[in-house]
């Protein structure tokens, strides 16, 4: 069967499944809309959490980042998985025990302040909308390839589909849809990795294949290092970025993970505190399957890509692929606008090398090379293009397309729900319209979702980076604002309402200003004050890593301000003690 027809059938079948689940499990009350009625089984919640977690950034973009950044991209693996452990141990059980619908609701009660609740809503919306922008980039990549349409058209189609089933089902529909999406995306990610590992190394386990020898007896990573050096790049396995930036980026991703509201609210959907811990453990198992496979996918896809365009010795007259003989996958991605070739020296062959390396450029100037001719090579296409580059069977390529679509849709829906809950439940019902009817509250949620998806869709067409980089910005914003407030809310009796509000505003403020200075104000292109390169970063700290600094500012300001203002009331201090002490044990004085 023709490849495109097979892709339509496989992806169409998964769509039908998702939409069928959304209709079957549609929410009938606010309890079902916000927390799926609170009766989800821990294993099911673990799968849904994993799907919620493994967004387009994880499925589509992370392996692409690893492919092009090599060793430096390992911080994404360490930060995101480490953060999940923090979330499972430090926050999830306590928040579940408190038993509220949303994160701002907890912050409002803990800091006995409507102002704190409103500020938490602002922080949540800023972080979540930034996160959705990254998802919309992934949606555009996935739908662009699936339908063979321009990237922007892919974003518009994805927006319509996400809006439909997120609005219809609420948390109940999203939970059961995400379970199905997890199954699809984990098979879609691992099956081609097994095939390609077997092809290159003879080892069926990609995790082991990454460290294995190729069929010629040379280790895969040694060969990749050599190929990249021959093309003027740095070695794949060497550190390129500064140690301080890598350390702060890891920290920012970790604590940002633990402060993400759309993941935290998943722990409100299980019946008991014990189930929250159990589902956190299951989610970690499900997530680890993808995260331990991603380094192999990144390295192997890049190795295959280079071998496709560099067919012979570097510098030889016939060493580069003839453009007219390019494979079909190359032509397909050209239609999306995410891959483009320009024949700068009119020789009809594709030269791909590091044209920012002056020594390499001078060395090959006499061959007529006038710059790398892959003028557009979007890192986010590597995972989806990977099975086609490797020449795998059509059914595997169709499966990966379905997985990419599932990953892009699953997290976007969860984020939209977090935004909708913040607006309708925390702002309207919690602060401005406490007597609003349940029906009108649900309507407000759906309107908020529509507004968020329109903004995120527009910015998703002009993203301030690759999907994983945009998501890293969102993690930095959550790290600098929500995470410190939650931690101090649970583990400190002394931090009061004034300190919490001052901490959140200062942490979020300094972080978002730093990001806008380098990424453009409100992410609008060409409005940045400085080039986004390490030469201009403060102390070599990138915008993606600055969330850790913002978190330190938040903790410091909140602690200092609280010391000079009245302590929280006794009933609030008793509440904090009650949250931390397991049920059945006496609270200590």
Model pLDDT for residues 6-31, shown as the tens digit of each residue:
888 888 888 788 777 777 766 666 66
**Following CA atoms 583, 82, 402, 49 in sequence, which dihedral angle do they give, to the nearest 10 degrees?**
10
CA distances (Å), origin 503, targets 109, 249, 486, 551: 17, 21, 12, 9
The whole-number pLDDT of residue 541 equals 93
376 vs 413, residue with greater confidence = 376
Cβ atoms within 10 Å, residue 15: 16
Query: Hey, what's the torsion of the CAs at 445, 446, 452, 455, to 10 degrees?
Result: -150
The region of weakest confidence among 65-69, 178-182, 337-341, 482-486 is 178-182
The confidence score (pLDDT) of residue 249 equals 92
Measured between alpha carbons, how far is residue 54 from residues 77, 189, 386 in Å?
12, 11, 19
Distance CA 470, CA 475 (A): 9
Q: What angle do CA 483, 557, 113 make, to 5 degrees?
A: 65
Q: What dihedral do alpha carbons 168, 171, 174, 180 form, nearest 10°? A: -140
**pLDDT tens digits for 449-473?**
888 888 878 877 877 666 777 888 8
Q: Are 540 and 546 in contact (CB under 8 A)?
A: no
User: CA neighbours within 13 Å on the CB side: how many for 491?
Assistant: 11
The SS3 assignment for 320 reads coil
Q: Cβ contacts of residue 452 below 8 Å, gap of 6+?
A: 125, 128, 129, 132, 415, 416, 419, 420
* 552 confidence band (pLDDT: 50, 70, 90): very high
> What is the C-alpha separation between 460 and 134, in angstroms, rounded?
6
CA distances (Å), 328 to each of 277, 334, 375, 385, 389, in order? 48, 10, 19, 11, 9
What's the length of the chain? 589
Winning range, highest mean pLDDT, from 54-68, 137-151, 564-578: 564-578
Q: What confidence score (pLDDT) does residue 588 get?
A: 42
From residue 429, alpha-carbon distances to 30, 119, 433, 436, 485 in Å are: 12, 16, 5, 6, 22
Q: Could you tell me the pLDDT band of residue 585, with boundaries at 50, 70 and 90?
A: very low
Q: Considering only residues 587 and 359, tell me which one the structure prediction assigns the higher pLDDT.
A: 359
- Please report which helix (H) or strand (E) contains residue 339, including its range: strand 339-340
Alpha carbon distance 316, 318 (integer Å): 5
Domains, the chain, with CATH or none: 3-224+244-254+261-305+383-468 (1.20.1730.10)
Which two tokens mark 10?
A: 């496989």
| 85 pLDDT above the threshold of 90 | no
Question: Residue 36: left if φ>0, alpha if ψ -120 to 50, beta else—which one?
Answer: left
Tell me the pLDDT tens digit for each residue of 284-307.
Answer: 888 888 889 999 999 999 999 999
> What integer best gives the mean pLDDT of the chain?
84
For 399, other C-beta atoms within 10 Å of its C-beta total 25
The stretch 238-253 carries a mean pLDDT of 91
Number of CB atoms found within 10 A of residue 371's CB = 13
* Strongest mean pLDDT among 152-156, 162-166, 255-259: 152-156
Q: Which of 74-88, 119-133, 240-254, 523-537 has the lowest mean pLDDT?
A: 74-88
- The residue that leads in pLDDT, 582 or 135, is 135
Terminus-to-terminus CA distance in the chain, angstroms? 72
CA distance 115 to 549: 24
């Amino acid at each position: 069967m023709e490849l495109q027809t097979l892709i339509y059938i496989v992806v169409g079948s998964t769509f039908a499944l998702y939409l069928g689940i959304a209709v079957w499990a549609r929410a009938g009350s606010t309890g079902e809309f916000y927390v799926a009625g609170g009766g989800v089984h821990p294993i099911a919640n673990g799968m849904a959490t994993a799907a919620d977690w493994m967004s387009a950034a994880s499925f589509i973009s992370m392996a692409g980042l690893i492919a092009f950044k090599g060793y430096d991209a390992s911080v994404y693996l360490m930060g995101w998985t480490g953060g999940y452990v923090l979330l499972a141990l430090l926050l999830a059980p306590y928040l579940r025990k408190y038993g509220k619908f949303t994160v701002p609701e907890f912050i409002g009660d803990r800091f006995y302040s409507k102002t704190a609740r409103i500020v938490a809503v602002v922080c949540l919306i800023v972080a979540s909308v930034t996160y959705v922008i990254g998802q919309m980039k992934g949606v555009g990549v996935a739908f662009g390839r699936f339908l063979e349409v321009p990237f922007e058209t892919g974003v518009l189609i994805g927006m319509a589909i996400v809006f439909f089933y997120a609005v219809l089902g609420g948390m109940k529909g999203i939970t059961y849809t995400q379970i199905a999406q997890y199954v699809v995306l984990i098979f879609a990610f691992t099956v081609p990795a097994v095939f390609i590992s077997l092809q290159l190394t003879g080892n069926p386990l990609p995790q082991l294949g990454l460290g294995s020898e190729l069929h010629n007896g040379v280790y895969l990573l040694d060969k990749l290092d050599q190929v990249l050096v021959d093309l003027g790049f740095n070695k794949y396995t060497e550190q390129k970025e500064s140690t301080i930036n890598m350390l702060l980026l890891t920290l920012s991703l970790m604590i940002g993970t633990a402060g993400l509201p759309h993941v935290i609210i998943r722990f409100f959907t299980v019946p008991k505190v014990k189930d929250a811990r159990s589902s956190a453990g299951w989610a970690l198992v499900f997530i680890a399957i993808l995260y331990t496979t991603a380094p192999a996918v990144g390295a192997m896809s890049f190795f295959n890509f280079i071998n496709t365009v560099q067919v012979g010795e570097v510098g030889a007259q016939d060493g580069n692929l003839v453009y007219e003989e390019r494979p079909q996958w190359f032509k397909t991605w050209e239609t999306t606008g995410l891959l483009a070739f320009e024949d700068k020296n009119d020789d009809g062959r594709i030269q791909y090398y590091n044209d920012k390396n002056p020594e390499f450029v001078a060395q090959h100037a006499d061959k007529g090379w006038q710059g790398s001719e892959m003028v557009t090579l979007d890192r986010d296409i590597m995972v989806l293009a990977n099975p086609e580059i490797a020449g795998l069977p059509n059914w595997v390529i169709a499966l990966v397309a379905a997985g990419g679509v599932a990953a892009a849709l699953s997290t976007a829906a969860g984020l939209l729900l977090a935004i909708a809950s913040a607006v309708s439940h925390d702002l309207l019902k919690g602060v401005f319209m406490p007597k609003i009817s349940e029906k009108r509250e649900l309507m407000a949620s759906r309107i908020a979702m529509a507004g968020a998806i329109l903004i995120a869709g527009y910015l998703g067409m002009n993203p301030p980076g690759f999907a994983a980089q945009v998501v890293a910005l969102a993690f930095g914003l959550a790290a600098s604002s929500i995470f410190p407030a939650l931690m101090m809310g649970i583990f400190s009796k002394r931090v009061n309402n004034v300190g919490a509000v001052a901490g959140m505003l200062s942490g979020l403020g300094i972080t978002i200003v730093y990001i806008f200075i380098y990424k453009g104000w409100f992410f609008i292109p060409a409005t940045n004050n400085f080039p986004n390169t390490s030469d201009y970063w403060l102390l070599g700290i990138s915008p993606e890593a600055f969330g850790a600094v913002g978190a330190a500012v938040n903790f410091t300001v909140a602690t200092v301000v609280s010391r000079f203002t009245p302590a929280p009331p006794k009933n609030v201090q008793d509440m904090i003690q009650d949250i931390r002490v397991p049920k059945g044990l006496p609270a200590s004085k």
